[in-house]
Amino acid sequence: MSQSSEAPIVELDGLSVGFGDKTVIDGVDLQLRPREIFGVVGETGAGKSVLARAIIGLLPTGGRVLAGQVRYRGQPVSTMGPEDARAFRGGKVALIGTNAKALLDPVARVGDQIARVVRSHERLDKRAATARAVALMREIGINDPERRARAYPHELSGGMAQRIVIAMALAGNPDVLLADDATLGLDATVQAQVLESLVERSRERGLSVLLVTHDLGIVRHYCDRVAVMKAGRLVEVGDVEPFLAAPANPYSRELLDAARARPTLQRPLAEDDRPPLVSVRDLTMHFAVPGSVEPIRAVDGVSFSIAAGETLALVGESGSGKTTAGQCLMRLLDNTDGRIIFNGRDITDLRENAFRPLRRNMQMVFQEPYVALNPRWRVRDLLAEPMALIEPMTSAERARRVAELLEAVHLPTALAEARPHELTAGEQKRVGVARALATKPSFIVFDEPTTALDIRVRAQIIDLIRGLQSQMNLAALFITHDLNSVRSLAHRVAVMHLGKIVEQGSTEAIFERAEHPYTRKLLAAELPVDCEPLPPGDIAA
């Protein structure tokens, strides 16, 4: 725990950072104490990531320190010579970023990548560095590290790749770890496992950790102190327990209230005799593996149905087969076996030219809107393109329809002229939803629409989807690992594990009377602000 009597290991004194004529860090004073875990929280755009990179002296292109300084053990980092600066970056202070697979070299084995970092800080031969890399992998909880060391990044899960990045950060035996949203986008169970490993290793080694996050649940369970950041300023700093009991700043109270909100469980639809709009029976999708007689059983005999106006949440960890099932349903993949019935018609074996007219009624909102949206097109063009599936329109009619769609997803019409990179993550998600609505469909697959969003933005997207569904009587498949979003949106829940649905029922039954051990494990892995989590051993079981 933090030791207030000791001199701080890192100090920020009036630090300001700018890009061009914009100040993104504004007069920040902060002290990181020896052996403490310090959480920095705030919404996207608050300046948290820039703050972490300013500490280690690795600002993004165009960034510069405008005022103030960073000190490490009393020495201003700006006065360090080239050799001392090299030992400082990655040696004394190490940065752990998010999206591990983007940080790793795709054409090098992960063991070699860790060994490379080891050798940059220690005079070891290749064999000794490789042994050290394997030891680090074992230390941060990777099973069979000798075999995993020979893997390439694309052969690892997201959680495994994030552990490799943590091992690389520990390779230089640092005093300080800067963890910049290191578990962003990971499943709740994997997030808990990775955080537990990071915190345990840090406590054992006596490290100081600056834990950048937008999740107050993480702060509650892992941090000693917390700083709340808004628009480049620290608006509140204090010990975690007093902060959670009575935050002093109004913005802090807003964030905490949003984190504490437990949405009311969605009521199931009234029972009636109407047939389902979408019905999936024994859906199977196997992928052949070169050199192996056994295929990957991504989807293995899945069955469910969805009525008009109803939302079914398909819940499970990454790799459980959720997205593959959704893509099969949308005929983006040709399933191996099973039947897909839409509005009473078997569409399983329809050729593309026969299925194309149905696409106006069946739409999908993809997990990563920035990847799914053409970066060269303006929003108006992105929304107008799907309209080709419906009746012919004049330019004026298309413009009116674009304005209607932006209004439907609560975006200003001025954004019609923007391109995807000019939008926030929440705005990109809304454009993805508007694009799916352009053809006036009766069924939409939402693939992880709330992943990696700030808690307030996540709540806004959930409210948007719920409102649209009610207005348009949409049937929806909500693919997610965000159980908190499921509570207020889904009428029923199907829990998927290793390609199979292991439990299915009303939202109330799943959340209050879950029967399957895997379902209970998913529920236990949540990190609420006011409750104790399940012990780590149970989460990992």
Q: H helices within 341-491, ranges in order?
A: 352-355, 369-372, 379-384, 395-408, 425-437, 455-472, 483-489
State the DSSP H helix or E strand holding residue 346, giving kind and residue range, or none if neither.
strand 345-346
Same domain, 324 and 431: no
| Burial class of residue 122 (count of CB atoms within 10 Å of its CB; 0-12, 13-18, 19+) | middle
Give the model confidence (pLDDT) of 229-255 as tens digits.
Answer: 999 999 999 999 999 999 999 999 999
Task: List pLDDT tens digits, range 408-454.
Answer: 998 999 999 999 988 887 888 899 999 999 999 999 999 988 877 78
Q: Are residue 432 and residue 448 in the same domain, yes or no?
A: no
Q: What is the CA radius of gyration of the chain?
A: 25
**Residue 416 backbone dihedrals phi, psi, to 5 degrees:** -60, -25
One domain for residues 68 and 181: yes
Q: How many domains does the chain have?
A: 4
Q: Check whether residue 114 and residue 145 sit in a common domain.
A: yes
In DSSP terms, which residues pair with 65 in a beta bridge? Answer: 17
> Are residues 201 and 112 both part of a single domain?
no
Residue 264 DSSP one-character state: P
Last residue of a domain, one of 107, 142, 173: 173
Local confidence band at 37 (pLDDT 50, 70, 90 cut-offs): very high
- Are 130 and 253 in the same domain? no
Most confident of 67-76, 311-320, 416-425, 480-489: 67-76
Residue 268 lies in a domain: no
384-407: pLDDT as tens digits = 999 888 878 888 999 999 999 999
Residues 6 or more apart from 283 whose CB is under 8 A from it? Answer: 299, 301, 302, 303, 325, 328, 329, 335, 337, 338, 339, 340
Residue 225's domain comprises 1-92+176-259
Band of the pLDDT at 271, cuts 50, 70, 90? low
**Percent of the chain with pLDDT strictly greater than 90:** 61
d(CA 383, CA 151): 41
Alpha helix (H) residue ranges in 140-236: 145-148, 158-170, 188-205, 216-222
Please report the pLDDT score of residue 383 as a whole number.
94
pLDDT at position 3 over 60: no
Domain presence at residue 264: no
d(Cα 476, Cα 481) in Å, to the nearest integer? 16
CA distance 67 to 523: 46
What pLDDT is stored for residue 533 in this prediction?
43
Bigger pLDDT: 199 or 535? 199
> Does residue 370 form part of some domain?
no
Average pLDDT of 152-159? 85
Q: Cα(first)–Cα(last) distance of the chain, in Å?
A: 28
- 151 and 85, same structural domain? no
CB-based contacts of 289: which residues, under 8 Å, 6+ apart? Answer: 295, 296
In the prediction, which pLDDT does 265 show? 66
- Residue 280 pLDDT greater than 90, yes or no: yes
Distance CA 69, CA 231 (A): 19
* Pairing state between β 10-19 and 63-72: antiparallel
CATH at residue 483: 3.40.50.300
Query: Cβ of 26: how many Cβ atoms within 10 Å?
Result: 18
Compute the distance between CA of residue 311 and CA of residue 507 in angstroms, rounded to an integer: 10
Whether residue 369 lies inside any domain: the answer is no
Among 106-115, 134-143, 261-270, name the most confident range.
Answer: 106-115
Last residue of a domain, one of 422, 439, 456: 439
pLDDT value at residue 328: 94
Specify whether 224 is located in the same domain as 307.
no
39-56 confidence digits (pLDDT tens): 999 988 899 999 999 999
Indicate if 536 and 447 belong to the same structural domain. yes
Flag whether 388 is in a domain: yes
| Distance of alpha carbon 225 from alpha carbon 246, whole angstroms | 14
Residue-level pLDDT at 536:
41
pLDDT at 5 (0 to 100): 67
Q: In the prediction, which pLDDT does 44 show?
A: 83
Buried b vs exposed e over 439-463: b needs ≥16 C-beta within 10 Å?
bebbbbbbbbbbbbbbbbbbbbbbe
Residue 359 and residue 41: Cα distance in Å, rounded? 42
Same domain, 459 and 321: yes
Instruction: Assess whether pLDDT exceeds 60 at residue 21.
Output: yes
Region 23-40: what's the mean pLDDT?
96
Last residue of a domain, one of 212, 229, 259: 259
**Burial tier of 524 (Cβ tally within 10 Å: 0-12, 13-18, 19+):** middle
Q: Is 419 exposed, middle or buried (0-12, 13-18, 19+ CB in 10 A)?
A: middle
- pLDDT number for residue 2: 45
Kindly state whether residues 242 and 310 are assigned to the same domain.
no
Please indicate, yes or no, if residue 524 is contained in any of the structural domains. yes
Band the pLDDT of 541: cuts 50, 70, 90: very low
Q: Which 8-state DSSP code applies to residue 115?
A: H
* Mean pLDDT value across residues 76-103: 88
Predicted pLDDT at 388? 82
> pLDDT at position 539, please?
42
**16 and 83 share one domain:** yes
Average pLDDT, rounded, for the chain: 89
Integer Cα distance of 35 and 408 in angstroms: 50
